[in-house]
């Protein structure tokens, strides 16, 4: 079964409190406008509207409670949100995706009543891992951010077994760890500037010379520079230090 909470960011206590305050204000204004004719009627002769209707609550009190409850129930059921929640980009979801009208009615009536007792049910959002109040726990609902996902932290490249090469990535096992570091550096070249096979870096026994000079193929195999061609003589060689120079031979004639 699909988990509808996967990578969702839970809404905290204060953002939910702000959304609830906005919704409470809007619901009170809407119910007050609808109740205005009944209030005026109670003043001008319909006094029964102010008498006790259920226990110590009058008809107008019951009308106000039902109207505010209907505001939260209907908006939450049909849009999974309310104007206050939409203002902060919040929505109500369930883990398994099941969404029934009776469940929302129970959440917004009995559940909110239990949460309002000393506000303990609402304060549970501060300490609960999934930011649920009592009314959320009773109905298996969660308040999350819309279009926002939690991105897990990236693992370090070394821990993931990946190394960097020229701005890219290669698996660490693609390079033999038993080879000296100079051998590894010979193959870690920039991807955007590939070097032809005849221009690879050749290595000596202990350290390598890095460059892109043309190196013959056999020099790459033996690790020794090519000396097959005769080195041109320098006109200004030192007489006492270069016995092979032409200048020295002229002086000895």
Which pLDDT band holds residue 238 (cuts at 50, 70, 90)? very low
Contact status, residue 105 vs residue 86, Cβ threshold 8 Å: no
Span of 14-18, 76-80, 156-160 with lowest mean pLDDT: 156-160
Q: Which two tokens stand for residue 194?
A: 């590939």
E strands, 33-167, in order: 52-54, 57-58, 90-94, 141-149, 162-165
Q: Which residue has the tokens 């690879």?
A: 200
Question: Which residues sit opposite 164 in a β-bridge?
Answer: 169
What's the token pair of residue 213? 């000079």
* pLDDT at 111 > cutoff 80: yes
For the chain, give the percent of residues with pLDDT over 90: 41
Given a cut of 90, whether residue 84 has pLDDT beyond it is: yes
Give 65-77 pLDDT, tens digit per residue. Answer: 999 999 999 999 9
> For residue 4, with 0-12 CB atoms within 10 Å meaning exposed, 13-18 middle and 19 or more buried, which class applies?
middle
Q: Where are the alpha helices (DSSP H) in 119-253?
A: 120-127, 134-139, 181-187, 217-222, 246-251
d(CA 163, CA 114): 55
pLDDT recorded at residue 23: 97
Q: Write down the pLDDT at residue 136.
A: 95
pLDDT beyond 60 at 251: no
The pLDDT tens digits of the residues spanning 12-33 come to 999 999 999 999 999 999 999 9
> Helix, strand, or coil here: 205?
coil
Rounded distance between C-alpha atoms, residue 175 and residue 183, angstroms = 10
């Amino acid at each position: 079964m699909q988990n509808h909470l996967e990578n969702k960011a839970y809404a905290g206590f204060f953002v939910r409190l702000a959304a609830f305050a906005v919704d409470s204000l809007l619901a009170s204004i809407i119910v007050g406008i609808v109740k205005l004719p009944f209030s005026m009627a109670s003043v001008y002769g319909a006094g029964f509207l102010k008498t006790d209707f259920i226990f110590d609550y009058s008809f107008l009190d019951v009308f106000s409670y039902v109207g505010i409850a209907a505001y939260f129930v209907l908006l939450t059921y049909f849009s999974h949100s309310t104007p206050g929640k939409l203002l902060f980009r919040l929505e109500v979801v369930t883990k398994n995706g099941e969404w029934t009208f009776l469940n929302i009615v129970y959440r917004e009536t009995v559940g909110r009543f239990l949460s309002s007792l000393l506000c303990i049910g609402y304060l549970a959002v501060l300490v609960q891992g999934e930011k649920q109040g009592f009314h959320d726990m009773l109905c298996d609902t969660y308040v999350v951010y819309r279009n926002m996902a939690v991105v897990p932290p990236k693992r370090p490249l070394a821990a993931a077994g990946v190394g960097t090469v020229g701005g890219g990535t290669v698996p660490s096992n693609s390079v033999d760890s038993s080879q000296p570091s100079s051998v590894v550096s010979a193959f870690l070249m920039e991807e955007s500037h590939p070097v032809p096979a005849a221009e690879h870096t050749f290595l000596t026994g202990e350290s390598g010379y890095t460059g892109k000079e043309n190196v013959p193929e056999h020099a790459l195999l033996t690790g020794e520079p090519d000396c097959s061609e005769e080195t041109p003589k320098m006109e200004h060689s030192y007489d006492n230090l270069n016995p092979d120079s032409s200048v020295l031979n002229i002086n000895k004639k």
